[in-house]
Amino acid sequence: MYSRKRLVGLLMILTALVVLVACAGGTAPSAPSATTAPQATSAPQATTAPGATSAPSGGAVTVVHWQHDYAPRKKIVEELINDFKAQNPNITIEFQSIPYNDFFQKLGPSLEAGTGPDVFQIPGPLVREFYERGQLAPVPDSVYTSADIEKDFVPWTVQLLKQDGKYVGLPTDVQSFMIFYNDDLFKEAGLDPTKDLETYDDFTAAAVKLTKRDGDQITQAGIDISHNTYQLFWPMISTLSDKGIVDENTLKVTYDNDQGYAAWQWLTDLVTKHKVDSPEFLAKQQPFELGKAAMDAHEFVEAGNLKEVAPNIHFSVHLPPHAPGRPKGTGGTHWAYVVSSKSKNPAAAWQWVKFLTSDAADRKWTAGRSELPSRTALYDDPQLKADPIVAQALEIAKVTHPFDDFGWDDVYNIQQAIWDNIVLKNQDVKTAVHEAAVAEEKLYQDKKLKPAAQ
């Protein structure tokens, strides 16, 4: 029958099983937890006092580096790690490559658990909110002074990285937006693909000429604008005002006015009035790469992609048209390498970041047409200029303004809604733009951003 002993024994076995399973070590050894450095001289909290951050003498230090996964970049990082190790034998870099789409889902919990990286990447526009949340450690002067940073790097690539008078990031993955012309289709339509289409009107006229139709159905889009429209509206609004898209002090947008309405009117007219493209034409595909669109707005990296994806397309890169009364220019984005305020070795981490953005490294980064140089010196580099596309792109990069909204996909959502509301829902331009302006300003309030103290 049921003796107490049997029941108790059973319960004990069950509990033991659960405990065993819970604590069983796997067959793989646990990876050493990040940043255990006995002799590091680092302050654990946010802003590190200058004196305390000299590089540790003797004693091995580990710096954990998280990067988005992208095969060519992964290789470059691995090479750079080896080079760095040769020069800094007491610093070991632990490198982890994380799928791009899931980067933040891994970063957040790890920061919370204290197992996060020392060095990671964030988009330039997000630096401000990360900094104001206290998540970033600034560059110590012992590693890189502000004066030197401003001397070495192209101004628009570090503009967003200065917070409270200190630099909290160094640039990487520099991309200017440019218009790609399909040279063959241009020539076919009697247009000259070597010249930039400078005014809104010229651009529209050319786009109309480059559009082909079969009855009602588009067979060739003058410009692929309805897919990833941000690639043209970001540069468009970035160049409307000298203050950029957002005034960093008042946190008010600069496009909620006649000039902004006119710009958006031009953009949306391409589809609603002149029908040079349709949202339903090769939706969510890449018409330019398929040779079905004569123009495409894109980040510079597309120049590298095209080699792989559509090697038969002859293309050239150009500035987008500018608003009446505005100088030539375009917008651009970049990411930043930053150091976590929870890092136990911020000085070593920044040493690594400095290396990652050095001249030698920048040469590697820019070699495969995957990004533009962040360092001024490389803009005159003959090796880079030997590639005609890169030479064109460098000229474009010189007149680039940073996409300076203080957000990334959240502002993208708001601004994309302008396009969608006008094109898909027939809303009038002024209402759509104004609603977005209100939403964007509210977003900054919700993020509790503080006006810049420059």
Partner 1 sequence: MQLSLSPSQRRALWAYVFLAPAIIFFIVLFVIPVLRALQYSFYDWPLGVPQKTFIGLENYRRLFMDDPVFLISIWNTIRFTVGSLVPTLVLALGVALILNQGLKALGLFRTIYFIPVVSSLVAVGFVWRWLLEPSFGIVNYLLRLIHIKGPGWLVSPEWALPGVMLMTIWRDLGFYMVIFLAGLQTIPREFNEAAMVDGANAWQRFWKITLPLLNPTIVFAAVIGVINGLQVFTSIYVMTGGPGDLPGGPLNSTRPIVLHIVEAAFRSQNMGYASAAAFVLFVMILFFALIQIRIIERPFEY
Partner 2 sequence: MGRSDKMATISKPTTARIPAARTLRIPKGVAHIPLYIILIAGAILMLLPFAWMISASFKTLAEALQVPPQWLPSTLSLRNYQEVFNQQPLFGRFFLNSVIVAVVTVISVLITSSLAGYAFAKFNFPGKNLLFVFFLSTMMIPFQVRMVPLFVMVSDWHLTDTYAGLILPGLVEAFGIFLMRQFITSIPNDLIDAARIDGASEPRIVVQILLPLLRPALSALAIFTLIGNWEAFLWPLLITNAEEMRTLPIGLALFAGRYIERVDLEMAAATIAILPMVVVFFLLQKRFIEGITLSGLKG
Which residues here bind partner 1, judged by CB under 8 A? 1-5, 7, 10-11, 14-15, 17-18, 22, 45, 101, 104-105, 107-112, 114, 116, 133-135, 217-218, 226-228, 230-231, 279-285, 340, 342, 408-410, 412-413, 416-417, 420-421, 424-425, 447
Closer residue to partner 1 (CB): 200 or 335: 335
Q: From the list partner 1, partner 2, none, which binds 418 (C-beta under 5 to 8 Å, kind-based)?
A: none
Our CB check for partner 2 shows the closer of 21 and 49 to be: 21
Among candidate residues 323, 329, 319, the one with its CA nearest the CA of residue 399: 329
With respect to partner 2, which residue has the nearer C-beta, 44 or 114? 114
Residue 136 beta carbon to partner 2: minimum distance, rounded to whole angstroms: 20
Structure tokens, 20: 């065993």
Q: In the range 98-127, which residues lie near partner 2 by CB under 8 A? A: 98-102, 105-106, 108-110, 112-115
3-class SS of residue 267: helix
Token pair belonging to 298: 């894109």
Binding segment for partner 2 (CB under 8 A), chosen from 39-47, 288-296, 407-415, 418-426, is 288-296
Measured between alpha carbons, how far is 426 from 95 in angstroms, rounded to an integer?
Answer: 49
Q: Choose among 397, 454, 452: nearest CA to 153.
A: 397
For position 31 contacting partner 2 by CB under 8 A, the verdict is yes
Task: Residue 187: name its binding partner from partner 1, partner 2, none (Cβ under 5 to 8 Å by kind).
Answer: none
Cα distance between the two ends of the chain? 83
What the block records as the tokens of 24 is 């069983």
Nearer to partner 2, 311 or 327 (CB): 311
Q: How far is the CB of 67 from partner 2 (least distance, A)?
A: 12
Euclidean distance between CA atoms 224 and 8, whole angstroms: 72
* Residue 70 binds to partner 2 (criterion: CB under 8 A): yes
- Among partner 1, partner 2, none, residue 249 binds (CB under 5-8 Å by kind): none
Both structure tokens of 320: 């987008």
**Do the beta carbons of residue 439 and residue 418 sit within 8 Å?**
no
4 belongs to the binding site for partner 2 (CB under 8 A): no
Nearer to partner 2, 253 or 372 (CB): 372
253 to each of 69, 411, 437, how far by Cα in Å? 34, 12, 6
Which is closer to partner 2, CB of 289 or CB of 440?
289
Q: Which of 300, 341, 337 is nearest to 319 (CA)?
A: 300
> Tokens in use for 203?
């651009």
Q: Does 50 bind partner 2 (CB under 8 A)?
A: no
Least Cβ distance, residue 21 to partner 2 (angstroms)? 6
CB atoms within 10 A of CB 281: 19
